[in-house]
Amino acid sequence: MMTNTKSYAQKLEATFPIKSMREAFYLPEGRIYFDGNSLGLMSKKAEQSLYDLKDSWKDYGIDGWMQGEYPWYFLAENIAQQMTQIVGANKEEIIVTGSTTTNLHQLVATFYQPQGKRTKILADELNFPTDIYAIKSQLALKGYDESHLVQVASRDGQTLYEQDIIDAMTDEIALIVLPAVLYRSGQILDMATLTTAAHERGIKIGFDLCHSVGAVPHHLHDWQVDFAFWCTYKHLNGGPGSSGALFVHKNHFGTIPGLAGWFGSNKEKQFAMSHTFEPAFEAGAFQLGTPNVLSMAPLIGALTLFNEMGIQRVRERSLALTDYMLQCVHDFLSEYQFTVCNPIDHQQRGGHIYLEHKEAARICKALKERGVIPDFRAPKGIRLAAVAMYNTFEEIYDCFTILQEIMETKAYEKYTNEREIVA
């Protein structure tokens, strides 16, 4: 007799010591939302801080730069301070600015300094495409072709072996850019080990935290990571297109940014309007143009919730939820040819699970029609993220019983096995 029942899921929720913060979020009525690793839901505090910043524009006009509860001139630094425990950094090492891609361009332009035979950038073949586009673009700007991009191969098409990455750290490598968590499989790379290995070989290394920040703890400062960059609209729940952020270790304070812009200036001299760029000493130097105040605004409230729960407790609850997801895969889907492609070990598993099935696109459409919001990844991937802050064990049970019914009745067959425009 199966013990995995709805009452069992309800008991898990009732007895788990770390509670969700569901009441703090706007939850889609009648739907189970498991796509927080693509776009997190809106919290009530994020909504309020957006209204607050909107009102500061209305009430103060130009004086909003220095007046109000959240003066815009220091907004990037003040929000960055809220991220210190999330990424394990000093407040001066973080700045909220740009987007994932613009920040990567800035950091590669700064830290990619080819000399002698060290002319190549090391990345991997499983990374999110925007990182590879940016790296190739930066190579071209320095006069190098794509042969100077070394991409570590995956042995199984889903994960990477740290030793394979370390073996590729040859004396031709000038810079390394890797994901902290692989966006498909959710594998966590051992950033501390990789950073130590890179530095032993005289190579600077940076990480894309887009799929790890807000889901797993980091210790960027202690690990001696040279730089990192991330978006804020996935696990951090900052809203669609919310401003990105970057980290530069204090060891590199005073480094001249590869790309200069007026908001990277020393703040005491920024409005002197000199044509000689005098950058800020800390991570603020890596800003470019005027901050997108209204795109930053929801982060004020959203990050408050993270600091209330604490990233360690977020991680504990997240692991329990994904453990239960994997149990449900075994209990409800074992007959239907699903393949679990995410790591099982807690040290390697991020904030979502990743399943593959030859009918994945059709299955995702059937799930959405029945009120479950998954994430499809071509050609046959299904990502499901149970977010610690607002998803529950009971929702997981309901999702997998719905999925079992879809497979049993072959309800997915009425759909085309093609992705929608936005997957």
* Binding site, annotated residues: 100-101, 128-131, 208, 211, 233, 262, 290
Q: Which residue has the tokens 């799929």?
A: 211
What residues does 35 pair with on adjacent strands?
385
328, 4 Cβ separation under 8 angstroms: yes
Contact partners, residue 367, CB within 8 Å, separation at least 6: 373, 374, 399, 402, 403, 406
In sign, the C-alpha dihedral spanning 365, 368, 372, 377 is positive
SS3 355: strand
Q: Which residue has the tokens 């910043």?
A: 53
Which residues participate in the annotated binding site for pyridoxal 5'-phosphate? Answer: 100-101, 128-131, 208, 211, 233, 262, 290
Give the full edge-to-edge strand order of the sheet including 120-124. Answer: 94-96, 245-248, 227-230, 204-208, 173-179, 120-124, 149-152
122, 173 Cβ separation under 8 angstroms: yes
Phi (first) and psi of residue 206, to 5 degrees: -135, 160
Q: Which residue has the tokens 């010591």?
A: 17
Rounded CA gap, 212 and 414, in Å?
36
Alpha carbon 82 to chain centroid distance? 16
Q: Which residue has the tokens 């029945």?
A: 370
317, 18 Cβ separation under 8 angstroms: yes
Rounded CA gap, 392 and 23, in Å?
12
Rounded CA gap, 350 and 180, in Å?
9
